[in-house]
């Protein structure tokens, strides 16, 4: 997701003057640091969520004080405890169950719907689940999976394909499989008037936001 920071994510945050950012999935904290820098400059705060962070969380809390709050937990446990945010960056567990429920929790817990940016809405995880830790996903939502990789245009996994060390669903497509499928199912179910844009490059960035004229103009100007 951090590859979208300069050209798309930061311009959206700046043009829409966001004050409380939620980041789901921090990994080594590259994008987390980008967001914190914005927060320090703009009197904003970040609430970041990751069950397995790969950066010195306690040091950063000390250093960045009330610009940085951290939840070392799964997104579906942490989200209900975070209030009054106006943008969410979703880049955590790339499977239908997690993303569909993240989107529902965000809708349920906010009077005004925030801007949501989601990574991995294009190949390979648009129509295929990935499980960081399969045990976190209820069995009825977990597709059979394996640790072979993927090649475009082929449903079955192949030895040595892309991301061949991760827990990838054995087949692509079908119901409740993949990040873009989760987004579409959420948009079908939601009664709110929402827009959705998709940038295909770098494995895909999706943007969900309330359909309002002024906001549409600002976001569309960051998509070029």
| Interacting residues with ligand SAM (CB under 6 A) | 1-2, 24-27, 30-31, 49-52, 74-75, 91-93, 98, 132
Of 1 and 219, which CB lies nearer to ligand SAM in the complex structure?
Answer: 1
Q: Are 71 and 105 in contact (CB under 8 A)?
A: no
Task: Give min distance, CB of 22 to ligand SAM, in A.
Answer: 11
Of 27 and 210, which CB lies nearer to ligand SAM in the complex structure?
Answer: 27
Residue 34 sits at the vertex; the CA angle it makes with 212 and 96, to the nearest 5 degrees, is 60
Cβ partners under 8 Å of residue 33, min gap 6: none
Q: Distance between CA 41 and CA 46 in Å, rounded?
A: 12
Q: Distance between CA 34 and CA 52 in Å, rounded?
A: 19
Of 51 and 161, which CB lies nearer to ligand SAM in the complex structure?
Answer: 51
Task: Give min distance, CB of 70 to ligand SAM, in A.
Answer: 11
Of 93 and 107, which CB lies nearer to ligand SAM in the complex structure?
Answer: 93
Task: Give min distance, CB of 78 to ligand SAM, in A.
Answer: 7
Task: Give min distance, CB of 35 to ligand SAM, in A.
Answer: 10
For residue 105, give the H/E element and its range. Answer: helix 96-108
């Amino acid at each position: 997701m951090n590859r979208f920071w300069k050209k798309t994510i930061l311009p959206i945050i700046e043009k829409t003057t966001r004050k409380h950012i939620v980041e789901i999935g921090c990994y080594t904290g590259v994008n987390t640091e980008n967001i914190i820098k914005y927060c320090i400059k703009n009197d904003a705060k970040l609430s970041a969520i990751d069950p397995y962070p790969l950066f010195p969380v306690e040091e950063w809390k000390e250093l960045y004080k009330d610009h940085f709050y951290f939840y070392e937990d799964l997104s579906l446990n942490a989200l209900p405890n975070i209030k009054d945010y106006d943008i969410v960056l979703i880049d955590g567990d790339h499977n239908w169950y997690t993303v569909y429920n993240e989107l529902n929790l965000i809708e349920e817990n906010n009077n005004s719907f925030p801007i949501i940016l989601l990574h991995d809405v294009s190949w390979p995880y648009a129509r295929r689940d990935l499980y960081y830790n399969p045990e976190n996903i209820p069995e009825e939502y977990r597709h059979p999976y394996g640790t072979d990789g993927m090649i475009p245009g082929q449903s079955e996994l192949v030895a040595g394909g892309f991301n061949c060390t991760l827990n990838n669903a054995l087949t692509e497509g079908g119901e409740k499989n993949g990040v873009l499928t989760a987004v579409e199912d959420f948009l079908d179910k939601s009664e709110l008037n929402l827009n959705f844009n998709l940038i295909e490059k770098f494995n895909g960035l999706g943007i969900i936001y309330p359909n309002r004229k002024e906001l549409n103009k600002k976001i569309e100007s960051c998509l070029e």
